[in-house]
Structure 1
Amino acid sequence: MDSDDDFLSDVSSAGDFLDTQNSDDESLGDDFGDDLDTGFSDDKDLIKQKRKPYEVEFKVLNPLDIQREQDVQVDDVSAILGLPPESAAILLRFGRWKQEKLIEGYMEHPEETLEDAGLGTNFEGLAKTEKVADFMCEICCEEGPDLETFAMRCGHRFCVDCYRHYLAQKIKEEGEAARIECPGDNCHRIVDSKSLELLLADNNALQERYRTLLTRTYVDDKDNLRWCPAPNCEYAVDCAVKARDLRRIVPTVNCICKHEFCFGCSLNDHQPTPCTLVKMWLKKCEDDSETANWISANTKECPRCMSTIEKNGGCNHMTCRKCKHEFCWMCMGLWSEHGTSWYNCNRYEEKSGSDARSAQAKSRASLERYLHYYNRYANHEQSAKLDKDLYLKTEKKMTSLQSQSGLSWIEVQFLDTASQALQQCRQTLKWTYAFAFYLARNNLTEIFEDNQKDLEMAVESLSEMFEKPVPELAKLKVDILDKTAYCNKRRVILLSDTAENLKNGEWAFNVEW
């Protein structure tokens, strides 16, 4: 009979099998996992759950993880090529950490590769400072028997003080670490880590800055690594997505600091729109900035009494204080139609007519189409900001609800959950309009717009409940929880369907990209 350890090892191997499946064969891996009878059906950690179509595999690395990765590669190359570790590190940085390609090039042309990397072929002797008779430093012109000097294997000797000043300037002022060259004229030998540690033995701050810069260079050089763009974040994300894949997937990743961004372009999450279309859309919005500013103004007029109304919340359900007319902020239509099958706020209806062939009419139709999508894009962007402002007040609202309703702090967390769901769904809806702007119409477009409509209606309903006065929130707790779950579900459906069609090349676009 097999031991428990053997059994768990088998399960782990099954998990490894699932992880290594090619994206085009995901169904095979999923079927394998579903059919595997482990006897531990409640333990979700044993078998990795299937990723959603719009999710990518990634891991977050801290500075120590990054350093360990570098050390492993340096040790490997050092052992294979028989070079000192500090020289192997210089060679790897020269080759942008492409280990196999570097070793292959070295085996074919060792001397040329070493020369190009700034190493040379002389590896004899140890890095040390010494006093040399009849020596004068070429930089400061100091001389004397007590003058401490240093020279790398290239033989260019300078006094230690000048060398230290030179290194400090390179590291502190120029931000250089990986390719600091010898101070000698026209010498391209690279200062290795051992030499630097010897010269800066009494300057821990500068050594730490040097190591930080080397780590930053390592991440910048690796195609599978990106720094988290959040301010003051020291984490990096490892993701196997290649540049050529960005037409088929939108690789959104989450850092430990909770910042969510696109691995492809480092912008904030812009699912479901691919990076290239995002770039085109942002440029178009920038070029049409005056029109955009006019559209995104914070005030509009009531369609019934023409009174000026200011939007001060994320919800698009507006009620005129003067005439009590209820309308939609986005399309200015009757709000009563937005909870019914008549809802058509998200769709752009192409206009037809006898004058459609004229250049002026085409130009006007093109502008109207752009304004339709930009208006909704900008509105969700503004609503997300307003919802975020409300989120900053959520804790106060939760405290008030707790004191007024007798609910515990845990029980009022549904407001925090709802607030986060609103922001995430608004972000998704915002980018669906940029995506829709470039879509060519077909049967899939209808499905996309239906999914978009369902999510939008759910978000507006949740947003309206979220803005209710504190005394009413306790009574709406179950409704808010249900609507929050429904919003999240509709978002998953929209993103999954869009991602599947993008991956399979099913979408048709009206631009070359």
Structure 2
Amino acid sequence: MSSDELELYDSDIGEEIEEVEKIEFLNREDVELEMKTLISDVESIVEVNAGMCRNLLHKFKWNKEALLNKMYESGDTQQFLIDSQVMAKCDDKVKEAKEGDCDICCSSGVLIGLDCNHMACKECWKMYLKEKIVDNGICEIECMEPDCNLLMEESKIANYTTNSFILAKYRYQSINGYVAASSRLKWCPGNDCGRIVKIPDAETRLIMCKCETRFCFNCCLEFHDPIDCRLMKKWLKKCSDDSETSNWMNTNTKDCPKCSVPIEKNGGCNHMRCTNNKCKHEFCWMCMKAWQYHKENGYKCNRFDESKEKSRSETRALLERWLFYYNRYMNHLQSLQLEEKLKVKVSAKEEELQKNSTMTWVDVQFLSKSVSALSECRRTLMYTYAFAFYLKKNNNSEIFESNQRDLEMATENISGYLERELETKDLKTLRQKVQDLSRYVDQRRKALLDHCEEGVENDFWDFSE
């Protein structure tokens, strides 16, 4: 494949790739450097030590502008620092450790403490820090004295405990607080990844981490266009909720009116016999009364109980609708998983072509690109069924369903072709056909997503709750 052909093929997804390339992947040291820069900026303005500035920034969710505005509004910097829990109220501050009795454990020895003059032995401080940092997951740690809210500075924490695990935990929680406060930072949810993702602007949602985890920046779930984060969470909860099974049981089974064992109706006859060998109660499926009642009082099941039947019909209709979308969602998820085998097959084919023909690594990339396009379409289709489940009918929903149908057909075409035709000897035809199918399926995916995005921008989607 020529470089011109590659450029043409990539043009449809160029914007997506360009957006991904603007994303930064940081480690903890990178984030700590950002934190230190902010601390230094505040330190030069407020003129207090770095530990106090760190606590100030943490309290203001690392928003330097909000912190400084609040300080200037206060008109009294010292009182602002006291109210913000970073400066002690007393003037006579402890400079050194002293000998005495610990008020916590009553032992005698060297006592250490904060600028508020509340002191304790080192062992009590160690236990206190472990409780706060390890057990409670806190990095904003107040003085041990119940009525004192002065915050401990980072240097004090490092001096009062030498436990590397506790200090590492404190470091992580401090970084995590910074990440959580930022609208542009998120931890990658990939297993054992540990990277921190930094987006260029608030519009960026698709993240493709270096660990190959693909996720939505807003909710950290797998990227799920076209459905929004709120409905996606609802859908996943519904999928995991066994209430749907209860609905099915309510529609297709009934409890024996005598022993309450669930009975499934698997034939046309309404004369039921309980399957519980200890019961074997005979009853009417329609009215749930003992079958003997019909013998003695005549058949009365033709008398319609509107409220009960309406409830059962509505339950059945809702369940059937749910299963329609759920089964199609799961079908594409299963296909996506099964097509992992296709990736292996395609990789082997690429190696074979490079070995047995004049084709280079660049020349055979059309195969990998086609599998990537197929996977993208499977994911999109999967989430379109979650989207469609909540979507109310209107003219635009019909356009959506038409786009969905076109994408589904195009996806099955390329999937079928790759499954069947990889062993063909006609390499020219194979390359041309795969390129054509890949371009078309990507165009259909883009058309569907563009229409969904247009609906969001113009507010013509209406969703049921």
Does the pair score TM above 0.5? Answer: yes
The one of 146, 151, 158 aligned to 1:190: 151
Residue type of the alignment partner of 2:195: Y
Measure the CA separation in 1 of the matches of 2:176 and 2:108: 39
Residue 37 of structure 1 is matched in structure 2 by none
Measure the CA separation in 2 of the matches of 1:86 and 1:250: 34
* TM superposition shift of 1:241: 7.3
Residue 118 of structure 1 is matched in structure 2 by 85
Alpha-carbon distance change, 166 to 286 in structure 1, aligned in 2, over 3 angstroms: closer
Counterparts in 2 of 1:40-119, with a 5 A limit?
51=15, 59-62=23-26, 63-109=28-74, 110=77, 113-119=80-86
* TM superposition shift of 1:173: 4.2
* TM superposition shift of 1:60: 2.8
Structure with the higher helix share, 1 or 2 = 2
* TM superposition shift of 1:427: 0.5
Alpha-carbon distance change, 410 to 124 in structure 1, aligned in 2, over 3 angstroms: farther
Measure the CA separation in 2 of the matches of 1:403 and 1:497: 44
Residue 333 of structure 2 is matched in structure 1 by 381
Residue type of the alignment partner of 2:84: A
* TM superposition shift of 1:214: 0.7
Residue 193 of structure 2 is matched in structure 1 by 233
Listed one character per residue, the Cα deviations across residues 388-432 of structure 1 (whole Å, up to 9, x for unaligned) are 343355544544555566755554443332222222210101111
**Alpha carbons 1:261, 1:268 under 8 Å: kept:** yes
Residue type of the alignment partner of 1:59: I
Residue 423 of structure 1 is matched in structure 2 by 375
Aligned residues: 387
The yes-or-no answer on 1:153 pairing with 2:115 is yes
**Alpha carbons 2:88, 2:150 under 8 Å: kept:** no
Residue 482 of structure 1 is matched in structure 2 by 436
* TM superposition shift of 1:483: 1.8
The yes-or-no answer on 1:471 pairing with 2:423 is yes
**Alpha carbons 1:129, 1:160 under 8 Å: kept:** no
* TM superposition shift of 1:161: 4.1
Measure the CA separation in 1 of the matches of 2:435 and 2:336: 19
Measure the CA separation in 2 of the matches of 1:399 and 1:211: 46
Measure the CA separation in 2 of the matches of 1:57 and 1:503: 25
The one of 234, 237, 259 aligned to 1:283: 237
* TM superposition shift of 1:267: 0.8
Structure-2-length-normalised TM-score: 0.71
Listed one character per residue, the Cα deviations across residues 61-83 of structure 1 (whole Å, up to 9, x for unaligned) are 41233223322322232233232
* TM superposition shift of 1:193: 1.2
SS at match of 2:108: coil
Listed one character per residue, the Cα deviations across residues 24-60 of structure 1 (whole Å, up to 9, x for unaligned) are xxxxxxxxxxxxxxxxxxxxxxxxx9957xx799733
Counterparts in 2 of 1:34-433, with a 5 A limit?
51=15, 59-62=23-26, 63-109=28-74, 110=77, 113-121=80-88, 130=97, 132-133=98-99, 135-144=100-109, 147=110, 149-177=111-139, 179-200=140-161, 206-239=166-199, 251-287=205-241, 289-290=244-245, 363-392=315-344, 394-396=346-348, 398-399=350-351, 407-433=359-385
Residue type of the alignment partner of 1:440: K
**Alpha carbons 1:394, 1:415 under 8 Å: kept:** yes
Gaps of 5+ in 2: 1-12, 250-308
Listed one character per residue, the Cα deviations across residues 322-370 of structure 1 (whole Å, up to 9, x for unaligned) are xxxxxxxxxxxxxxxxxxxxxxxxxxxxxxxxxxx97665554444333
Listed one character per residue, the Cα deviations across residues 215-274 of structure 1 (whole Å, up to 9, x for unaligned) are 0111122344322211122222344877xxxxxx89333333332211222111110111
Residue type of the alignment partner of 1:98: N
Measure the CA separation in 2 of the matches of 1:434 and 1:408: 41
The one of 428, 452, 468 aligned to 2:404: 452
Gaps of 5+ in 1: 1-48, 243-248, 295-356
Alpha-carbon distance change, 283 to 270 in structure 1, aligned in 2, over 3 angstroms: same
Alpha-carbon distance change, 104 to 408 in structure 1, aligned in 2, over 3 angstroms: closer
* TM superposition shift of 1:154: 1.0
**Alpha carbons 2:377, 2:441 under 8 Å: kept:** yes
Listed one character per residue, the Cα deviations across residues 448-496 of structure 1 (whole Å, up to 9, x for unaligned) are 2222222211211111122237533773233223322322232222212
Measure the CA separation in 2 of the matches of 1:445 and 1:398: 41
Residue 438 of structure 1 is matched in structure 2 by 390
Alpha-carbon distance change, 129 to 398 in structure 1, aligned in 2, over 3 angstroms: farther
Measure the CA separation in 2 of the matches of 1:181 and 1:404: 70
Moved over 6 A (4+): 55-58, 123-128, 291-294
Alpha-carbon distance change, 410 to 128 in structure 1, aligned in 2, over 3 angstroms: farther
Measure the CA separation in 2 of the matches of 1:425 and 1:451: 12
**Alpha carbons 1:250, 1:274 under 8 Å: kept:** no
Measure the CA separation in 1 of the matches of 2:94 and 2:383: 57
Residue type of the alignment partner of 1:425: C
Residue 345 of structure 1 is matched in structure 2 by none
Measure the CA separation in 1 of the matches of 2:426 and 2:95: 74
* TM superposition shift of 1:197: 3.0
Residue type of the alignment partner of 2:153: D
**Alpha carbons 1:56, 1:251 under 8 Å: kept:** no
Alpha-carbon distance change, 405 to 194 in structure 1, aligned in 2, over 3 angstroms: same
Structure-1-length-normalised TM-score: 0.65
Measure the CA separation in 2 of the matches of 1:175 and 1:140: 24
| Identical aligned residues as a percent | 34
SS at match of 1:468: helix
Alpha-carbon distance change, 57 to 124 in structure 1, aligned in 2, over 3 angstroms: farther
